[in-house]
Amino acid sequence: MRITYRLVTAICLAMLVVVGGFTFLQIREERTRLVRDLERRAALLGEGLKEAVDPVMGGRSTAPIERILKRFGRPNQVIAVYDQLANPIAVVPDSVGPRAVAIPEITESLAMDAIRYGFRVIDGRPVYVYATPIDRNERPIGALAVILDASQLAAAERALWRQNALRFVVLAVVLSGITVLLLRLSVTRPMAKMAEWTKALKTGRAGPPPEAADAGLFGPLALEVSGLARRLYRAQEAAEQEAALRLSGESVWTEERLKQFVNLQVGGPIFVVSNREPVSHVSKDGKIIAQTPASGLVTAMDPVLRACGGVWVAHGSGNADRETADERGRLGVPVDDPRYTLRRVWLTPEEEHGYYYSFANEGLWPLCHIVHTRPQFRPEDWEHYKAVNRKFALALIDEMDGVEAPLVLIQDYHFALLPAYVKEARPDARVAIFWHIPWPNFEAFGICPWQPEILQSMLGADLIGFHTQYHCNNFLETVERAIECRVDWEHFSVTRGQRVTHVKPFPISVAPEPLDVPVSTRAEVLAGLGLSSIEFLGVGVERVDYTKGLVERFRALERFFERYPEYRGRVTFVQVASPSRSLIKRYQDFQREVEDTVEGINTRLGTKSWKPILYLDRHHDHAEIVPLYRHADFCMVTSLHDGMNLVAKEFVATREDERGVLVLSRFTGAARELTDALIVNPYDLDELAESIRTAVTMPAEEQRIRMVRMRQAVRERNIYWWAGRLLRELSRIPEEALGKLS
Ligand code: F6P
C-alpha cells in the first residue's frame, strides 16, 4: 500500500510541476498577445483621434473636441484631451479618474513632446494608457490620451489557471487510477502469489513458480528464490538422511557423503568428458526448451556432477545450444540452480557424421555388442574420430588450465583416444576412462583395423573401468594378445614401459531416490494414456536401438496374448521409444521393423477399444517416464546385449511402494545384481512370454519380497557409491606412478 501511495504522490507531484510550468508559459504568451493587442488598438485610436482633434485644438470652446471624442467613444475605453498643463479639456465618457489623477504618461508626453504609454490603476481598475502630444509649431499645446480597460489581462490569467487546475485534477485522477490498477495487476497480485509459492517452497512442496504478468520483472526473482529454496531443502534433506543413516548404522553412499569425500580426497573440481551432454537446448514453436537426452550415461553422471561440482565437457548437439551458452560454450547446470559447469564443444556436420554416427556407432557400437550387426570401419571415419578426440582434448586442457593434478573421468567408446591425448599434455592428471558398453572377446575386437592404436591410447589412462569383471577380463585378454605389454592377472593391471594402467569393474547405477517428480494416481496415469479400462500395465523405456531386443519383446507379448487370450483387453504394454541415431541406415531400418511389428500385432490382436501395445515414439522427459514406472505392473528390459542397463535400476529405484515385477534380460550387466528380477533369455520367445504371464499373476507378497531385495541392491550400490569407488581408486594412484607416456 505504501508503495502505491508513494508512487501516486510522486506522479501527482511530477504532474503538478509539469502543469504549473506549462500554465506559467501559457500565461506569459497570452499576456504578451493581449498587451500587443491593447497597444495596437490604443495606438490606432490615439493617432486617428489626434488627427481629428488637431484642427480644433486651441479654440475657445471645448465643445468641438467633446463632439469628436464622443464620436469615437466605445465601452471599456476612456479618451481624453488635455491642455499643455495637463489639465483635462474633454473626457469621454466623463469619469473622475482621468480628471482627478495626474497620469504620468500624459505629463511626460507633454514634457518630452513624445508618445508615452504604460499600465496604471485608475479608479481601482487596471488600465492601459496611451498618451500622444498635440503640437503647434513643433511645441505641444496639449495631449490626447486613450485609456483602455486592461482588466481582461488578469481575467485571462485567472481563466488559464482555472482551466489548467481542472486539467491537473482530471489527469491526476486518471493517472493515479491507472497506476493503482497496474500496480495491482503487475506487482501486488503477482507478489502475493510469489509469497504463497515461497511459503510452499519452504515446506518442501516444490512447484513451478506462478505465472507472472511481467516475466522480465519476476522471472529472475523466481529463479533465484527457487534456487535458494531448493538448496535449503536439499541441505535439510541431506542432513536428515545422514542422521537417519547414522542412527540405523548404515553406511550407504549419499550425495552428501560423495560431496564430503570429494572435498577431502580430491580437493579440486572433477572433469568429465562425454559425447552426450546432460542438457540440450532445442527450439520448439519459437521457444527454447531444455531437454534431458535419453541416455543412461546422463542418468548416471548428472547426479555425480551435481554432488561434486566440476566441469563436464560434451558435444553441444541441440539446435539452440549456442544461444544458451557463453562465447566459450559454457553454462551452469542445472540452468535454474547451477551446480556444475557444462562446456559445450561444437562439431561440424562432417565431424559429427564421421566421428559419432559412423566410427563410434557404425563401427565400435556393433563391434562391442554381440547382436550380429556387421561393424563398418572406414578410413575417413577413423580420421574424423581422431580429429574430434583431439578437439575434445583441447577443450578439456583449456578447462583444466591452472588446476593442479586434476581428476579426469572420460566416458565411453566415443573417446578411446582421449586418455593418451590428455596425458601427453597433462602428465600430472589422473585419468580414468569408463567404458559404458560391453567389451567383446579378443577375436571380436580384432575386427577393428585400428585395434593397436585404440588399445595403446586407452592405456594412456591410469584407470580403465567396465561394468563387470567379465568385460575387464575380455579387455585384458585383448590387450595381452594385441599389443606388447605385461598383463598382471593377479592385480588386473597392464604395464607398458613405465606406465601401469589398472583395469577394474565399477557397476554403474542410479541415484537411490527418484527425481523430484510430482506424485500422480494410477487412475490419472492410465487416463492420460487413454487406458482407463485396463487391468495390467506393462512398460518399456528405450532408445530405438537394435541392441534392446524390442522386436523380441513384442513377439513375446504377441505369444503371451495367443497363449492366454483371457488377458486380451486386460493388459496393455506401453513402449516409450526415443528416436536414436536416426541418420544411420541400420537404425532407420530397425525403426521401421519395430513399427511394422507393433502395427502387425495391434492389427491382428487389437479390438476397437483395446491395443496390446501402445507405442509412444518421441522423446519423453523424466517427469513423463517416472509416473509410468511408478504404476506399471511389470517392466520389460530385454536387451540382446547391454553393458549395464539403467532402465532396470531406475524402475526399481522408483518403486517406493515395493510392488511391480521386473523382467530382465540375462545379457545385461544389471542381471548380475538384480537377481530377484525374472531373468530371461530374450531370444527365447516362449520363456519371455511365460515371464509376462508370471509377472501378471505374481502375488503381491512375492512382488514385495523381490522388490525389497532389488531396492536394497540399488540403494547400496547406487551412483554415489559408484563414483566414490572410482574416484577413490583414481585418487589413490601415487604421484610417482603418473608421469608421461612412454
Ligand atoms: O550405452 C552406451 C551409451 O553411450 C549410453 O551411455 C547411453 O545411454 C547411450 O549410449 C546413448 O546413446 P547416444 O548418446 O548415442 O544417444
The full DSSP string for 325-392 is: S-TTSEEEESTTS--EEEEEE---HHHIIIIIIIIIIIIIHHHHS-SS------HHHHHHHHHHHHHH
Residue 246 CA to ligand 1 center (angstroms) comes to 36
Task: Name which of 572, 557, 573 is nearest 689 in CA terms.
Answer: 557
How far apart are the C-alpha atoms of 571 and 731, rounded to whole Å? Answer: 51
Residue 294 burial by CB count (10 A; 0-12/13-18/19+): exposed, middle or buried? buried
Residue 274 CA to ligand 1 center (angstroms) comes to 10
Residue 639 CA to ligand 1 center (angstroms) comes to 14
Residue whose cell numbers read 574424423: 384
CA 90 → CA 11, 51, 63, 145, distances in Å?
59, 16, 8, 10
Residue 142 CA to ligand 1 center (angstroms) comes to 117
277 lines ligand 1 (CB under 6 A): no
Q: Distance between terminal CA atoms of the chain?
A: 75
Residue 269 CA to ligand 1 center (angstroms) comes to 25
CA 7 → CA 16, 175, 179, 190, 710, distances in Å?
14, 11, 8, 18, 63
Residue 408 CA to ligand 1 center (angstroms) comes to 19
Residue 315 CA to ligand 1 center (angstroms) comes to 13
Residue 692 CA to ligand 1 center (angstroms) comes to 27
Residue 581 CA to ligand 1 center (angstroms) comes to 10
386 lines ligand 1 (CB under 6 A): no
412 lines ligand 1 (CB under 6 A): yes
426 lines ligand 1 (CB under 6 A): no
Q: Which of 273, 275, 292, 295 to mutate to test the pocket of ligand 1 (most atoms within 8 A of CB)?
A: 295
- Count of CB atoms situated within 10 Å of the CB of 335: 13
How far apart are the C-alpha atoms of 272 and 283, rounded to whole Å? Answer: 26
Report the amino acid identity of residue 594: V
Atom of ligand 1 nearest to the CA of 275: 14
Residue whose cell numbers read 487416463: 527
Residue 296 CA to ligand 1 center (angstroms) comes to 6
Task: Name which of 213, 223, 179 is nearest 193 in CA terms.
Answer: 213
140 lines ligand 1 (CB under 6 A): no
Residue 307 CA to ligand 1 center (angstroms) comes to 22
Cell for 487? Answer: 598383463
Backbone angles phi, psi at 551, to 5 degrees: -65, -40
The whole-number pLDDT of residue 215 equals 61
295 lines ligand 1 (CB under 6 A): yes
CA 498 → CA 371, 453, 565, 732, 738, distances in Å?
38, 18, 66, 18, 9
Atom of ligand 1 nearest to the CA of 300: 6
The whole-number pLDDT of residue 207 equals 66
What's the average pLDDT block by block, 10 residues per block, for the chain (742 residues)?
79 86 88 89 89 85 86 86 90 78 88 91 89 90 91 87 88 87 81 78 65 63 68 65 60 90 87 98 94 93 94 98 97 93 98 98 98 96 98 98 96 98 96 98 97 98 98 98 97 94 97 83 97 97 98 98 98 98 98 98 98 96 95 98 98 97 98 98 98 98 98 96 96 81 63
Q: Whose CA is nearest to atom 6 of ligand 1?
A: 297
Three-state secondary structure readout of 427-458: CCCEEEEECCCCCCCHHHHCCCCCHHHHHHHH
Residue 155 CA to ligand 1 center (angstroms) comes to 89
Q: Which of 279, 297, 355 to mutate to test the pocket of ligand 1 (most atoms within 8 A of CB)?
A: 297
> Furthest-apart CA pair in the chain: how many Å?
153
Residue pair 589/549 in contact by the 8 Å Cβ criterion? no
639 lines ligand 1 (CB under 6 A): no
297 lines ligand 1 (CB under 6 A): yes
Atom of ligand 1 nearest to the CA of 642: 1
Residue 391 CA to ligand 1 center (angstroms) comes to 20
Q: Please provide the DSSP assignment of 504-516 as one string.
A: EE------SSPP-
Residue 276 CA to ligand 1 center (angstroms) comes to 7
363 lines ligand 1 (CB under 6 A): no
* Cis check: omega of the bond before 334, within 30 degrees of 0: yes
581 lines ligand 1 (CB under 6 A): yes
Degrees, nearest 5: CA angle 246-250-254: 80
437 lines ligand 1 (CB under 6 A): yes
How far apart are the C-alpha atoms of 625 and 627, rounded to whole Å? Answer: 6
Residue whose cell numbers read 603418473: 738
Residue 181 burial by CB count (10 A; 0-12/13-18/19+): exposed, middle or buried? exposed
Residue 631 CA to ligand 1 center (angstroms) comes to 26
436 lines ligand 1 (CB under 6 A): yes
Atom of ligand 1 nearest to the CA of 412: 4
411 lines ligand 1 (CB under 6 A): no
pTM surpassing 0.85?
A: no
669 lines ligand 1 (CB under 6 A): no
Residue 568 CA to ligand 1 center (angstroms) comes to 35
Residue pair 253/721 in contact by the 8 Å Cβ criterion? yes
* Cis check: omega of the bond before 93, within 30 degrees of 0: yes
The whole-number pLDDT of residue 538 equals 98
- Which residues have CB under 8 Å from 510's CB, separation 6+? 299, 300, 303, 646, 649, 650, 653, 714, 718, 719
User: DSSP secondary-structure letter at 462?
Assistant: S
Backbone angles phi, psi at 328, to 5 degrees: -95, 5
Backbone angles phi, psi at 574, to 5 degrees: -100, 120
580 lines ligand 1 (CB under 6 A): yes
The whole-number pLDDT of residue 623 equals 92
Residue 124 CA to ligand 1 center (angstroms) comes to 102
Q: Whose CA is nearest to atom 14 of ligand 1?
A: 276
Say if strands 536-543 and 499-505 run parallel, antiparallel, or are unpaired. Answer: unpaired
276 lines ligand 1 (CB under 6 A): yes
Residue 476 CA to ligand 1 center (angstroms) comes to 23
Report the amino acid identity of residue 334: P
Atom of ligand 1 nearest to the CA of 360: 15
Task: Name which of 126, 155, 128, 102 is nearest 38 in CA terms.
Answer: 128
315 lines ligand 1 (CB under 6 A): no
Residue 380 CA to ligand 1 center (angstroms) comes to 23
Atom of ligand 1 nearest to the CA of 356: 15
In this structure, is the dihedral angle defined by the CA atoms of residues 236, 238, 241 and 247, taken in order, positive or negative? negative
Atom of ligand 1 nearest to the CA of 414: 4
3-class DSSP state for residue 81? Answer: strand
Sheet holding 661-665, edge to edge: 613-616, 571-578, 536-543, 634-637, 661-665, 678-680
Cell for 460? Answer: 594412456
Atom of ligand 1 nearest to the CA of 276: 14
- Count of CB atoms situated within 10 Å of the CB of 357: 17
Residue pair 546/577 in contact by the 8 Å Cβ criterion? no
Phi-psi region of 230 (alpha: psi -120 to 50; beta: other; left: phi over 0): alpha
Query: Half-sphere exposure of 579 toward its Cβ, with a 13 Å CA cutoff?
Result: 9
296 lines ligand 1 (CB under 6 A): yes
Residue 672 burial by CB count (10 A; 0-12/13-18/19+): exposed, middle or buried? middle
Cell for 546? Answer: 537394435
Residue pair 708/693 in contact by the 8 Å Cβ criterion? no
What contacts 24+ positions apart, CB below 8 Å, involve 676-684?
A: 676/705, 676/706, 676/707, 676/709, 676/710, 677/648, 677/706, 677/710, 680/638, 682/549, 682/552, 682/553, 682/556, 682/638, 682/639, 682/640, 683/552, 683/640
